[in-house]
């Protein structure tokens, strides 16, 4: 039995907890305990008053805390709690039909939007997932690509650099018609 590991992210308020296996195909960000009701694991984390956000990825969870508590106190017990949840075979998500990603291709999307969503999924999401975050397509309007930063990327001090020096540069290489990438 491997233990849930934890590691820091570029966002000092967010810690990434790595599972030893893929536990879901879904990704979802939870900003409130009400949103987390579809995930018993996320709801458990929101049971603590210091929780300000949870992002569930296929094989990790990024937890964002409030400033009044330190990771030195939280990280080890929290990794144990997550491990216990997984060891008991408790569900990560309830069996309800929800749309969990705005990145999913819509058959009605024009070809350019489909290509942009595929590029985000292929080139951007795996990189930001390494730091406990996610990037999803929001819209393309007047040659400006709007994206949503989730998990550790949301509120991260280096997110603006990631956005402009990484995501925007790559998306403009792939799609020269894009003038700018903006986070919403």
Q: What is the pLDDT of residues 83-102, one digit of tens each?
A: 999 999 888 998 754 444 44
End-to-end CA distance of the chain: 40
The domain limits of the chain are 5-87, 111-183
CB 12 within 8 Å of CB 70: no
Q: What is the CATH number of domain 111-183?
A: 3.30.300.130
Top CATH class, 5-87 = alpha beta
What are the residues facing 15 on neighbouring strands?
Answer: 8, 63
CA dihedral 4, 65, 97, 90 (to 10 degrees): 40
Q: What is the pLDDT of residues 5-44, one digit of tens each?
A: 999 999 999 999 999 889 998 889 998 888 888 899 999 9
């Amino acid at each position: 039995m491997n233990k849930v590991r934890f590691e820091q992210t570029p966002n000092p308020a967010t810690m990434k907890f790595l599972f030893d296996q893929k536990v879901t195909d879904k990704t979802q960000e939870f900003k409130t305990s009400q949103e987390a009701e579809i995930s018993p694991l996320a709801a458990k984390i929101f049971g603590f008053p210091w929780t300000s956000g949870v992002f569930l990825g296929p094989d990790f969870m990024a937890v964002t805390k409030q400033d009044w508590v330190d990771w030195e106190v939280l990280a080890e017990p929290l990794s144990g709690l997550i491990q216990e949840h997984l060891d008991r075979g408790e569900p990560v998500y309830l069996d309800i039909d929800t749309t969990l990603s705005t990145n999913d291709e819509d058959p009605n999307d024009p070809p350019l939007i489909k290509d942009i969503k595929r590029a985000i999924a292929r080139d951007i999401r795996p990189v930001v997932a390494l730091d406990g975050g996610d990037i999803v397509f929001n819209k393309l309007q007047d040659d400006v690509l709007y994206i949503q930063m989730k998990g550790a990327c949301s509120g991260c001090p280096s997110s603006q650099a990631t956005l402009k020096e990484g995501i925007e540069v790559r998306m403009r290489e792939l799609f020269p018609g894009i003038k700018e990438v903006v986070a919403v």
